[in-house]
Structures are given as C-alpha cells and as structure tokens.
Structure 1
Amino acid sequence: MSYQGGFSMLKKFRGLLYGLSIVAVVLVNFVAQPVKAAALDDLKDLLSDSRISTAANHTITIDMATGDTWAAGETLIIDFDDAFNSTGFANNEPEDFDIVVGATEESIVANGGCATNDAIEITTVNTTTDTFTFTACGSYTTESGNGHEIVIEIGTNATSGGSGNDQLVNPGTIGSKLVNISGTFNGSVAKDTLVAITEGVTLTATVDETLTFTIAGVSSANCDTTGGTEIANTSSTAVNYDSIGTLSPDTFYDGCQLLTAGTNASGGYSATVQTTSLPTSGSNTIAKGNCNGA
C-alpha cells in the first residue's frame, strides 16, 4: 500500500510539473517584444567660447544611424541645460540658425512660414527651458540616401539666411552641462552630449627674440636706378666702380645692394646705414660731398 501511494503522489507531481511547463511556454511566447529604433551614431556640440557667463556660438553635429532620415513633418528638438541663457532668440528670427543636412544647406523659415517651401521651420523657442524645436516643412525634400550628418549652427556663426545676431550665454558656474537631442526625426530616440564650461585661462609665454640681416649683391639689370650710369654687378661687400672705367666729374653712378632684415619682435625693426670709412679707388680716397657738383 505504501508503494502504491508513493506512485500516486509521483504521478500527481509530474502532472503539476507538466502544467507549469505549459503555462511557462505560453507566457514566454506572449511577452511583448520591445520596439527597436536606431540611436544616433554620434553627437557633439562645439562652443566658440567655453568660459563661464560668456556669450558663445554653438555648432552641433549629429550623425544619424544608417537607415534614418529627416523627413517632412518630423521634428528635431535641442534642449540645452537650463543654466544656459537663450534670451534674445525667437521663432520669428530664422537668421540665428543654419542647418546643413548631408550636402544640402537648408532654408530656414520662421514659425508659420512653411507654406509650400522646401524648408525647415523654427517652430518654437522656449527661453525658459532653453529648448529649440525645428520641423521639416510639409514640402520639405528629404535628402537622398540615409544616415546623413546634420550640422546646426546657432548664433552669429549662422550666415546662410542672413547674419545671426544672438548668442547663448554660458552658465555662471564651471562644470559639465547637458545638451539633449530628441524629436521624431530619428525614430523618437533621444541622445545626450556634455559640454564643459570652464574658467578663463591666462597663458604667458616667453619667446626668444630673433633678428637676421643680410647684404647681397644686385645685378645691374635688377638695379632700379634714379638716373646716371649703372655700375655692373655688385657683391655683398663691394661696389665695383672699376667696372665703369674712367669716372667723369660731376656724374652720377648707380649701384645697388639688397638689404634683407627679419625679426619676430612685435615692434618690428629699423635700419640705419652709415659709413665707417670713405670709399677709395686704388690709393685715392673719394671725398664725400652732397653729390650736386659742390
């Protein structure tokens, strides 16, 4: 009797296990699978000036994943850390924004300016949350292909549709600040990047001064004379009057030498020419005068 009871209990236990296995299989088969969307390949924000409390331009580069595009009706949202100050920006001032998608410089229009334009609209600007929303207009032509790079310039660096005249002001404290990209343009997948806000750094450098000076001869063909007889080729150390032959009184003779100076001094240089001795011709000394026959 005891063995039969044991077998009966074993059968019931096996039946329970089979029942649990069936339920487990059913549950596994009906678990909802997550929807997958491609994240951005890369995201960066380059500031023209990262010092605290300083106005700066932003150049945001977005690399979309292969298979993704920015199509008509889709939004792209840029949300800066609330410590930034975007006062001055508005959705009726498209001149403060440049957008390049792939190889195309896009036209930017103010809110409500889409109509039938192949353009991107600056739909909203929230200066409290420092959030900018862009929408591809209904007549927007999607860039051919997919996985393009999007470059967005915000500030005075925007020049395509006019001259940008507003800039974001950096936070007043140092540290890493968040910039978030979201919207429907990339399958509603958001991505963050960080920018570093720093104190100004003063650099002092000492540079050894340099000065070079050379004298070179000049051929008569390259000597820009002021009148008179040209002396044949000069050298760096001599003016060859003997190439003329007999010198005539009260006659001008022209010879050139090239003086070349170079320096890294911020104030430049000055050159002074003076004689250390009177010129000679053989054993004769040539007297100095004012060269006007006196």
Structure 2
Amino acid sequence: MQYAIEVSKLRKSYKENQVVQGINLQIKKGELFALLGPNGAGKTTVINMLTTLLKPDGGTVLIQGLDVVKNSKDVRKKISLTGQFAALDEELSGLQNLILITKLYGYSNKKSSSIANELIHSFDLSEAKNRKVANYSGGMRRRLDIAASIVTQPEIIFLDEPTTGLDPQSRMQVWEVVRTLLKSGTTVLLTTQYLEEADQLADQIAVIDKGTIIAEGTPNQLKASIGEKTLSFRLAKSYEPKKIHEILVEKHALKIIEDENPLVFKIPVTKTRLANDIIDTLLNHAVPIEDFTLSDPSLDDVFLALTASKQEETI
C-alpha cells in the first residue's frame, strides 16, 4: 500500500536537545490522523519537516511516495499547511484575501472570483465576506485561513493546532470545516493539545511526548488500552499522595494517576468490580474521600496514564 504520508526513523535535534527521536508514522489516504501531545512535545517540528520547511537530521518522509528532501518542489504542489496563526491581510476583506491568494497561484480574475466566492459560501462566511478581517472573530479567521489553504485543492492538508486560543463555539465551527475537508477525500494531519478535539475528529491518533511516539491507535483502542473503566475520587481535604500510592499498590498493585487538582486521583481498572474494593480499602485506611465516579476512560485519562508511565521509565 502507498500511504499518503509515510515517516520512518525521523529525527531532529537542536544542539544537545533531541526534539524528535526516531518517529515512525503511516497515514492512509483520506483519513484524519491526529498527532496529540502537550506543548513542547515536538508536534510542530514534525509538521515542519513533513512540509519541507525544516530538513530532518535523519530518517525519511514520503508524501504520496515523494521524498520531502529530494523532491521538495513536487511535494509542495500536493500539500497545504495551516499554522497556529492566521496568515491573512487584516486590512482586506475575507473575500479580497481569498481572491488575492488565488491570483498569486496564477488563476485569472474570473476564476479567482469564482473560487473565492465558492469557498466563502462553503465555509459559512457569506455575511462577513466584505468585512475587514481585522473585525473577524477568532473562529471566522481560522475558517478563512483554512479556506485560503485549500484554494488549489491540495491532496493533503496539515493543520497545526488550528483551534489554539479559540472559544468552544469557534472550535466546533472549525471542526465542521475539517469534517467538510474529509468528506471531499482530503487527507488531514492534525496536531493538537486538545484531547477532546482528537477524540471528535481523528480516525487514528499518535500520542507524542518528548519527541517520541508513546502510543498509537484509534480513539477507542487507546481508551481500551488503559482499562475497562476509570475510577475517579476526590478527597474532602489534603492528604499525602504518597500514602495513597502505598495503600493501593500494596493491596491491589494499581497505578494511580494524579490530577492537576491535588485532591483528585484517577485509577484505570480492568474489572468494574475492582472499583468497589478500591473504595473500601481507602475508607478502611481513613482516607477522606468526598465523592467518587466510575466512567468510561477518556483520552484525557489515556494521556495522563501514558505520560505517567513514560516518566516512571526515565526515573
């Protein structure tokens, strides 16, 4: 099978800092592949190498079978990149921005106007098409930016954290734009630090942390990998986390995931009935539990579990 994107042993360092460490990826045509990770994980560096903006230190990247180093000009004809910040002229209207970009690609005045108006309609910007971009909301800017990136109908589009800084409603509007791209058969590689975003959109997810892929699969596969359920409990008052770890590791040999909230703890459980035993054990040791819930694991739980495991390996 020829993949839309095929990455093998990709590496990039800045002096002593290894930003990307031997990454392998295979992305099928027409799917949305999400590269999920926190700030500083190496996501943007990977995107820059895949889009010919940055030369790898090692490994290979094939885009539709073309090497990004040896065939960079041909690769650029097949791809488009939307970065984290909108690349638009704020003094022009939305329609004028799109017309300008299509003309830069060599289209005639008539064709440029036709393409621009079609994109304005498709991305639900008709009412604001003659308004200056400076007066657009964040969500409108992102939609216009994505529209601008597909005027040439690229086979592959790279979206590097396209919803960073947007409010929830604007993020959902961008999600609808991405779904429209997928329906047209476009291959999408999305980088994001938002777990919900990857869960909503992705066919496949690779979790990247400190420049390495630590897990890969469909959203459901990743959730299933840490357990059938997630037990979450909140303490009524501060309690030494080390003691909770000692109690549960000694009794049940469990892995405990600490939350950003120091009073909240999460435990992946392979069997639902184990949750009851865990709560009983904690109460018997006078751990001040305020409340607890048992739910299906989320990608948030997956990421916390995976990164916690990675940290343990390096200690």
**TM-score interval (norm. to shorter):** under 0.3
Which structure is larger by alpha-carbon Rg, 1 or 2?
1
Normalized against structure 1, the TM-score is what? 0.23
Higher helix share: 2
